[in-house]
Amino acid sequence: MSRYLICGAGGFIGGHLVKSLLNDGHEVVCADIKPLENWFQIFDKNKNFSLDLKDYQNCLEVTKNVDFVYNMACNMGGMGFIENNKAECMLSVLVNTNLLRACLINKIKKYFFSSSACVYNADKQSNSFIQGLKESDAYPAMPEDGYGWEKLFSERMCKHFYEDFGLETRVARYHNVYGPMGTFDGGREKAPAALCRKLIIAKNSGKKKIDVWGDGEQTRSFLFIDDCIKGTKKIFESNCREVLNIGSEEQVSINQMIEIIEKIGGFKVEKNYQLHKPKGVRGRNSNNDLVRSRIDWNFQISLESGLEITYNWIEKEISKKSNNNKFAIKY
């Protein structure tokens, strides 16, 4: 049994990671800036800290007496959030900076940083249905402004903390992770959850029209949370110090994803395209050649299967009269 610190444990991916590590028999310490009542999953037998990890002293405190650190903490959301909160997103660099410094002081054995496909050069994402982005496509650097720059800079910090100080670091670039027990309204949700919510509300109300940001022809690949957790742990446990994609290679347009959700919900909708809304890059997809060769990982869950699980969970949450997006699954 090892002792893990999960930073961002109250968030979507962080909560699922905590549950997986507990199931493996490990001791887990959890930290998140959000008040405990706003965490998506809470495990009472853990030591749970609600504090700001941009503060160095807080980082020193939570990294005491732990073996390994997963940094899943950042200020982020869907495209609407990150395009309108660039400075706030970039302040997450303080979390990574101060955690790395604290890890040296407290002699952490290995450190994980959760990066993003938003680091990739925008010029390579200007068309729909592009070829998958290889890890080398992050350079020459032209990432998503704000959020993407923070992630790319923090990747470099991890690299140099190993080179200069010998701290073992691992980095994964996530591609649009989705699934149950996460944000599905309020402005920070990503496309799969937002579209499931919109279609469910339309079905419940009998109103067939839903708003779609852009023209619906922008493309992405979407990775189900279970595949994400398996890939994350496999990277962490490996000897590979290279940055690796953790994503699906099943690229779809937003219109195609809506068709899948319509099939799941048994309800057809009309699309009100909102061309003035944030759309992000035109096309983005993961190339998993390197991660397959380095750690023998690939996504397993199809988009349709993952969306069905996600749709059913959001439908149940919407049906709860007391739902205010501040729920937590108690264990």
Residue that is written with structure tokens 């909560």 in the block = 15
Q: Which entry of 111, 147, 174, 178 is annotated as an active-site residue? A: 147
What is d(CA 246, CA 113) in angstroms, rounded to the nearest whole number? 13
Q: Decide if pLDDT at 326 tops 70.
A: no
**246 three-state secondary structure:** strand
Residue that is written with structure tokens 């959301």 in the block = 77
Q: Decide if pLDDT at 329 tops 60.
A: no
Our CA angle for 53, 57, 58, nearest 5°, is 35
Cis-peptide into 143, omega within 30 deg: no
pLDDT digits (tens, 9 = 90+) for 36-68: 999 999 998 899 999 999 999 999 999 999 999
Residue 147 annotated to the active site: yes
What is d(CA 162, CA 167) in angstroms, rounded to the nearest whole number? 4
pLDDT digits (tens, 9 = 90+) for 155-175: 999 999 999 999 999 999 999
What is the token pair recorded at 35?
A: 């008040």
Mean pLDDT along residues 23-42: 96
pLDDT digits (tens, 9 = 90+) for 252-281: 999 999 999 999 999 999 999 999 998 899
Q: What are phi and psi of 219, to 5 degrees?
A: -120, 155
Give residue 81's pLDDT. Answer: 86
What is d(CA 312, CA 176) in angstroms, rounded to the nearest whole number? 19
| 167: CB partners within 8 A, 6+ apart | 100, 103, 104, 108, 111, 161
Confidence class for position 330, pLDDT limits 50, 70, 90:
very low
Q: Decide if pLDDT at 321 tops 80.
A: no
What is d(CA 258, CA 260) in angstroms, rounded to the nearest whole number? 5
Give residue 96's pLDDT. Answer: 98
| 161: CB partners within 8 A, 6+ apart | 100, 103, 104, 111, 167, 169
Judge residue 205's burial from the number of C-beta atoms within 10 Å of its C-beta, 0-12 exposed, 13-18 middle, 19 or more buried: exposed
Give residue 328's pLDDT. Answer: 44
Size of the chain, expressed as the number of residues it contains = 331
**Cα 80 vs. chain centroid, distance in angstroms?**
15
The better pLDDT of the pair 80, 2 is held by 2
Dihedral sign of CA atoms 157, 85, 88, 253 in order:
negative
pLDDT digits (tens, 9 = 90+) for 198-257: 999 999 999 999 999 999 999 999 999 999 999 999 999 999 999 999 999 999 999 999
pLDDT digits (tens, 9 = 90+) for 187-204: 889 999 999 999 999 999
**205 three-state secondary structure:** helix
What is d(CA 102, CA 64) in angstroms, rounded to the nearest whole number? 9
Fold of 3-179+222-249+286-301: Rossmann fold (3.40.50)
Q: Decide if pLDDT at 103 tops 80.
A: yes
Give residue 324's pLDDT. Answer: 55
Is the pTM value of this prediction over 0.85? yes
